[in-house]
């Protein structure tokens, strides 16, 4: 490994948690590498207007916010590479992180890999992914401008946002939710209920997605009366929550049943010098601002840890 690849801190992930951590560690003078992934910026890259990030009274586009955060980190000297971390070795210090065959090492590692969209688990969903099935309405719904019907699956904030966004594009939107009550916040529910283009199918699940080469409809089971019905649509947007991106840390770090990294003292993992921030450890709040806050905490801990190691040498 070349000494070029030796860092004080490696941050894995470049969403709000990773970028905030990078701003703090690089500003504190630590040699910082951000492994930003092949699609950097995290989930905000898939949103349109972010209205609840403090400091932007008119809102800010998610991708713009992330580009600014990355630029801010780079401005303080953080290096951002657009590669995925594919393996780690936390058996000894310095800690090792690999991107394919390339090895990087650091005194401290901050994990901010976030979470990825959950899927329904249908064969048709995989086959028709990108052909009408999508997990990002804000990215893909504009492809279906003027559609007769777009389906959104889920009952949380994401599903509500997707349905409202789709209503600007299509003649009709059908939201399919497995319960008789939404999980989405009150403000989004109010907007949903006052949008006449959106119809909600309560207590219903998607049993299959119909279509050979492109989505033509969905088969929906009503969980109350057991009835199965077909709903024609041009696209299906799945918004049923997220799963933490922790596969490469399995066996190294303590995790809960769902794969979230377990932390103590806010951001400390089960290995000294390894910290976790954002949706990879927080399944409760999951907001850009809370992820940024955890990123800040992880960075402050990493700075303290690196200073302690340097002082002991």
Strands of 57-183 (E only): list them. 60-61, 79-81, 87-89, 95-99, 102-111, 115-117, 133-134, 150-153, 173-176
Site for ligand NAP in 63-122 (CB under 6 A): 118, 120
Residue 178 is a binding residue for ligand NAP (CB under 6 A): yes
> Mask of contacts with ligand NAP, 185-204, x by CB under 6 A?
--------------------
Cβ neighbours, 10 Å, residue 177 = 23
Task: For tokens 């709903």, name the residue.
Answer: 231
Q: Which of 15, 16, 155, 273 binds ligand NAP (CB under 6 A)?
A: 155
Cα gap 305→266, rounded to integer Å: 15
Site for ligand NAP in 253-312 (CB under 6 A): 286
Q: Between 161 and 301, whose beta carbon lies closer to ligand NAP?
A: 161
Whether 139 is catalytic is: yes
Whether 190 is catalytic is: no
CA angle, 237 then 216 then 164, to 5°:
30
77 CB contacts (<8 Å, ≥6 apart)? 26, 31, 32
The torsion region of residue 249 among left (phi > 0), alpha (psi -120 to 50) and beta comes to alpha
Q: Which of 39, 52, 126, 229 binds ligand NAP (CB under 6 A)?
A: 52
Helical residues (DSSP H) of 76-185, grouped into ranges? 123-127, 137-140, 157-167
Residue 241 is a binding residue for ligand NAP (CB under 6 A): yes
Selected catalytic residue, list 8, 19, 140, 233: 140
Smallest gap from Cβ 204 to ligand NAP, in A, equals: 9
Smallest gap from Cβ 51 to ligand NAP, in A, equals: 7
Catalytic residues: 136, 139-140
Interface with ligand NAP by CB under 6 A: which residues? 52, 118, 120, 154-159, 161, 178-179, 183, 205, 239-242, 286
């Amino acid at each position: 490994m070349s000494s070029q690849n030796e860092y004080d801190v490696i941050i894995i992930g470049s969403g709000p948690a990773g970028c905030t951590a990078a701003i703090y560690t690089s500003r504190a003078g630590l040699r910082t590498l951000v492994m930003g992934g092949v699609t950097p910026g995290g989930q905000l890259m898939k949103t349109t207007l972010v209205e609840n990030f403090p400091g932007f009274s008119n809102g800010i586009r998610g991708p713009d916010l992330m580009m600014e955060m990355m630029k801010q980190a780079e401005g303080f000297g953080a290096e951002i590479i657009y590669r995925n971390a594919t393996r780690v070795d936390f058996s000894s210090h310095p800690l090792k992180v690999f991107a394919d065959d390339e090895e990087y090492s650091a005194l401290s590692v901050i994990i901010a890999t976030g979470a990825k969209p959950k899927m329904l688990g249908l064969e048709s969903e995989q086959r028709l992914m990108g052909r009408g099935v999508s997990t990002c309405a804000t990215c893909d719904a504009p492809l279906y401008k003027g559609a007769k019907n777009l389906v959104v699956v889920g009952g949380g904030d994401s599903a509500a946002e997707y349905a409202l966004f789709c209503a600007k594009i299509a003649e009709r939107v059908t939201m399919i939710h497995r319960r008789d009550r939404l999980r989405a916040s009150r403000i989004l529910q109010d907007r949903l209920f006052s949008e006449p283009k959106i119809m909600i199918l309560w207590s219903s699940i998607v049993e299959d997605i119909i279509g050979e080469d492109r989505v033509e409809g969905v088969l929906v089971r009503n969980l109350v009366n057991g009835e199965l019905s077909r709903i024609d649509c041009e696209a299906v947007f799945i918004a049923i929550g997220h799963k933490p991106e922790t596969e490469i840390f399995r066996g190294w770090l303590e995790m809960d049943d769902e794969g979230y990294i377990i932390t103590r003292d806010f951001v400390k993992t089960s290995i000294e010098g390894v910290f976790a921030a954002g949706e990879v450890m927080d399944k409760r709040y999951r907001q850009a601002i809370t992820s940024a806050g955890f990123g800040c905490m992880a960075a402050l801990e990493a700075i303290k840890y690196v200073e302690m190691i340097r002082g002991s040498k």
